[in-house]
Amino acid sequence: MKKPPRPELDPVQLRAAAEHALARHPLPPAPDAGSDELRHWHELQVSQIELDLQSEALAELQTERDQASALHARYAALYEQAPAGYVSLNHSGYITRANLAAAELLGKAQAPLLGKRFEQFVTPSAQAELRRFLQRLFDSGERAALEVLLFEPSGAAGAGQESRRLRIEANLDAGAQTCRMILTDVGNASTRDAARLRAMQVLSNINEGVLVCDAELNIVSVNHAFSQLTGYAAEEALGRNPRFLGRAGAHPPGYHAAALAQVRSQGRWQGDVFNRRRDGTPYVAAMSLTVIRDGDGAITHYIGVFSDVTAQRDADAALQRWSQELDARVAARTAELSASREELRQLATHLETIKEDERKRIARDIHDELGQNLLALRIDLSMLNARTAGSHGRLHQRVSAALETVDATIRSVRGIMNELRPAVLDLGVQAALEWQAAEFARRTGLACALTLPDAAGLAALAGLSPEMQIVLFRSLQEALNNVRRHAHARGVNIVLALRAGHLALSVSDDGVGIGLQQPERRKPESFGLIGMNQRVAALGGRVELCNQPSGGCRLTLSFDL
């Protein structure tokens, strides 16, 4: 990582830093010192701090210089001892720098190389091409490569021995206008032929088929594995276009043309090719194509390496079919579950409707039958109580006790009717919510505040459907019941809001709250919230339950009217 350059020591900034350091750690002045002595003492302290800061900065600067010198020495050693030959040329082609490997490769000592033209170390026939190569490099600045023959001094090469070939990889240092080159000895024709022979021996012993084509796409060489995979002997394949191996119509139109265009532009292509063996057996070949270029960048050969992947592709296809079949089964099962869930939702809604109707019917029957009979019985007992008040004391006491029992029964019947279906529901959702809030406060002793919409909102609430009113009332009942049993709250706040066609009922308390992952929400027998969710979802609403930042819990029912 390159460090930013250190800024110069500014006297003004140094003075400000010293003043700041003295202000943070002031030293006590001498006792009974006058103002001039104080100023003189202050100047001495600031000067001392400035000197300390300068010393620290100079010490750090010296350390950085030592580190830079060590890194430069290490880089120089790596450059000099590198196994590859490194040479730098100026714009005129003169050598400005060379390492030991380059000097050994060029056959000169390192010091005499500096200041010599590099082209004098290549054969005269390659010097013009080298000059053009360097000119293109300085003009374009693009990295390039070139192979040339080394000039062998008289008597340096043995009798009949060919000159060695040198590969040059060069780039341009635009800032210094210097050409930096890496020199590689690729040997003479004999060594290259031996290397090719070793490469062919390796290719003949690998399991992948290899074919080499010339620039006209005619096969010039194949290995033994090619014959084993295709069934064609080498003499049957030489001179032919590789397309004779393919299956007609197996690929989409333009497949081979696109592959050839890619390998020519990018130098590499990989893909599957559908071929046929000599005996007609079809197979799938995983093919990799590369190109070989000459010094001018022109393509001289194409190399193809392939292997038989028929079994693997069949397994992949089978796996794909199984995956698609599994996806289809999952989709079908999901559709069945969705249908079952919808049926269960409809059944739950139907059961809630039936239950509400049954409550209404039972409450009406109790009111019409039992309530009227109790009322008639009370009237008779009241008349009997009045007649026996002065003449039959003991009978009067028995009648008074019976009258109290009838009154208690009437109150119980009225409570049962209110639990089943309060008559106040027939007066509208406003009256029902007010009655429920007052009833909760009376039974529990907790503070219960109810906030309703304004006059316009209350007028709009009158148009709510009976189903919506029942859902709001029953949900409030369940929410208040949960507060009474679990919240340990001191007060409850109920808000019914109607804004822009959006109706919301929220019930919040100041109790202990509820953890979203607590077991209370997952008990199998806790159907309160489940039933509330079912009722609200049946009308297209949403239920949200969350803890409040100030403590307690808030339950919100939202509907888009």
pLDDT in tens, 93-127: 999 999 988 888 888 888 888 999 999 999 998 89
Least confident range from 180-194, 287-301, 355-369: namely 180-194
pLDDT at 159: 45
- The per-residue pLDDT for 386 is 86
Residue 381 has pLDDT above 90, yes or no: no
Strand boundaries in 262-411, DSSP class E: 268-276, 282-293, 299-308
pLDDT higher than threshold 80 for residue 268: yes
Could you give the domains of the chain? 423-560 (3.30.565.10)
The one-character DSSP state at 122 is B
Residue 4 scores a pLDDT above 60? no
User: Mean pLDDT across the stretch 301-309?
Assistant: 93
For residue 108, which of 162, 99, 78 has the smallest C-alpha distance? Answer: 99
HSE-CB for 106 with a 13 A CA cutoff? 28
Could you tell me the pLDDT band of residue 307, with boundaries at 50, 70 and 90?
Answer: very high
Q: Which of 141-145, 339-343, 476-480, 520-524 has the highest mean pLDDT?
A: 476-480
Separation of alpha carbons 119 and 408, rounded Å: 124
Query: Which of 4-18, 302-316, 386-400 shows the lowest mean pLDDT across its residues?
Result: 4-18
Q: Based on C-alpha coordinates, what's the Rg of the chain?
A: 50
Nearest to 167 by CA among 184, 150, 179: 184
pLDDT bin (cut points 50, 70, 90) of residue 181 is very high
How confident is the model over 248-254, as a mean pLDDT? 90
For residues 32-46, average pLDDT: 69
**Percentage with pLDDT > 90 across the chain:** 33
Q: What's the whole-model pTM score?
A: 0.40
Average pLDDT over residues 68-84: 79
Task: Of 412, 557, 411, 553, give the one whose Cα is nearest residue 484.
Answer: 553
pLDDT in tens, 438-473: 989 998 999 999 999 988 888 888 888 888 888 898
Quote the CA–CA distance of 373 and 369 in Å, as a whole number.
6
What is the predicted pLDDT for the residue at 178?
A: 92
pLDDT band at residue 279 using 50, 70 and 90 as cut-offs? very high
**CB atoms inside a 10 Å sphere around CB 532:** 22
pLDDT of 490 strictly over 50:
yes
Quote the CA–CA distance of 511 and 552 in Å, as a whole number.
4
In this structure, the strands spanning 144-149 and 95-98 are unpaired
Residue 1: pLDDT band (50, 70, 90) is very low
Per-residue confidence (pLDDT) for residue 518, from 0 to 100? 47
Q: Are 274 and 243 in contact (CB under 8 A)?
A: no
Least confident residue range of 193-207, 459-473, 519-533: 519-533
